[in-house]
Amino acid sequence: MAETLTQIGKTEPRPSGWQGIAADWSSDQRAFKNVSWGKAMMWIFLLSDTFIFGCFLLSYMTARMSTRVPWPNPSEVFALRIGGSDIPLILIAIMTFVLISSSGTMAMAVNFGYRRDRRKTAILMLLTAALGATFVGMQAFEWTKLITEGVRPWGNPWGAAQFGSSFFMITGFHGTHVTIGVIFLIIVARKVWRGDFDTGRRGFFTSRTGRYENVEIMGLYWHFVDLVWVFIFAFFYLW
Amino acid sequence: MAEATANGLGQHALHAGHAHEAPAAVAHADQHQEHPIKLYLVVWAWLFILSTCSYLVDYFGLQGYLRWSLILIFMILKAGLIVAVFMHMAWERLALAYAIILPPILVLVFTTMMVFEADYTLFTRLAFFGSGH
């Protein structure tokens, strides 16, 4: 299956499992054998981003554990009044479904990209961007609602003051990531639509030609945004 | 063939110069992350189901260890599905998978440290400011 190109042009099969890890890392070449640099670097960026969001959630945990004042109940704070009754956390649940759906369309866009189906790839990417923009819009609505109810980074009407600072910090950074993702989705979708990856047109910023793998790398970022939301949803909204 | 042997060294140097393009392109020609659309739809459906489950944990107001363990289980399952299938980590070589997946475990070490720190902070706050306020 996977093969290494040796100096004399002969190919040898690569070991798998633990031997594969040792062989790849000690090969005195590139460690990530069948992964392009673009993809490897995106993964390493996402790893660093994992630590950033990990630290945010950690600081939130520390603040929540160390305060003597009761923490506001997110179930009630994020409830919406629909049809005369309060439904707990409903907006956040809808946001979760919107973001998961955008991840699904993105995964399919990557798939159609590798099948060279430009039209479907671009449409699915734009659909992903639209769902992402919907998510950011709902987050803006949520922020507006909480701010009018008196939530500030230094206090809120329901309990521990750190609730506001944790909330704005964590969801704000996540929303920023989504927004940047939407912008780049539109840029890459435009390139796909125009056929840049088929004609070898060079990017205006990097002046390098792209490949359909760029769609997958874009997808990695987008799925990561969804992944972070899974953790925020669990720890901030549900806990 | 003889020419190739004679130029073997030169070609190799040339090859190394294009290392970021040529081998990757060759490897990717037969290693595209191509999977049936159905797989993505199944995972999508599971993510919906798991999200609904974690929402229902809150909706029915489960509390205590039952709530926390259910939240964590659904969270880990969702995260695993996204990373393994949507991000294609299940099909990558272990050298990449372990390089990316193992380091975040350090966050758990940090978490443990901060649990002790937060306990200590709470203790001092209770001791010096009382339980009022």
Segment A124-179, tens digit of pLDDT: 999 999 999 999 999 999 999 999 999 999 989 998 999 999 999 999 999 999 99
Contact yes or no for A34/B83 (Cβ under 8 A): no
- B110–A35 CB contact, under 8 Å: no
Residue A104 contacts B, CB cutoff 8 Å: yes
- B75–A54 CB contact, under 8 Å: no
Residue B50 contacts A, CB cutoff 8 Å: no
Residue A31: other Cβ atoms inside 10 A: 17
The correct CATH number of A36-238 out of 2.60.40.1180, 1.20.120.80, 3.40.50.1110, 3.40.50.980 is 1.20.120.80
pLDDT over 70 (residue B23): no
Please state which of the ranges A7-21, A100-114, B18-32 shows the lowest mean pLDDT: B18-32
A5, closest residue in chain B (CA to CA): B23
pLDDT over 60 (residue B45): yes
pLDDT band at B28 (very low <50, low <70, confident <90, very high): very low
The per-residue b/e assignment along A200-230, b for 16 or more CB within 10 angstroms, e otherwise, is eeeeeeeeeebbbbbbbbbbbbbbbbbbbbb
The per-residue b/e assignment along A72-91, b for 16 or more CB within 10 angstroms, e otherwise, is bebbebbbbeeeeeeebbbb
B101, closest residue in chain A (CA to CA): A47
φ, ψ dihedrals at B46, nearest 5°: -65, -40
If you average pLDDT over residues A40-55, what whole number do you get? 95
Q: What DSSP designation does A36 have?
A: -
Residue B130: other Cβ atoms inside 10 A: 9
Dist. CA B32–CA A230, nearest whole Å: 27
Ranges A18-22, A166-170, A192-196, most confident: A166-170
pLDDT band at A4 (very low <50, low <70, confident <90, very high): low
Residue type, B94: L
Residue type, A36: S
pLDDT over 90 (residue A223): yes
Candidates A225, A224, A128; CA nearest to A175 is A225
- B93–A40 CB contact, under 8 Å: no
ipTM of the complex: 0.87
Of the candidates B54, B92, B95, which has its C-beta nearest A238's C-beta?
B54
A31, closest residue in chain B (CA to CA): B95
A–B interface: beta-carbon pairs under 8 A:
184
Domain definitions of chain A by residue range: 1-34, 36-238
Given the structure tokens 């993105």, which residue do they identify? Answer: A106
Of the candidates B33, B95, B131, which has its C-beta nearest A32's C-beta?
B95
- B92–A231 CB contact, under 8 Å: no
pLDDT in tens, B47-103: 999 999 999 998 888 888 999 999 999 999 999 999 999 999 999 889 999 999 999
- A233–B75 CB contact, under 8 Å: yes
pTM of the model: 0.85
- B98–A21 CB contact, under 8 Å: yes
B86, closest residue in chain A (CA to CA): A107
Contact yes or no for A50/A220 (Cβ under 8 A): no
Of the candidates A31, A43, A96, which has its C-beta nearest B51's C-beta?
A96
If you average pLDDT over residues B17-41, what whole number do you get? 59
Residue A209 three-state SS: strand
The whole-number pLDDT of residue A139 equals 95
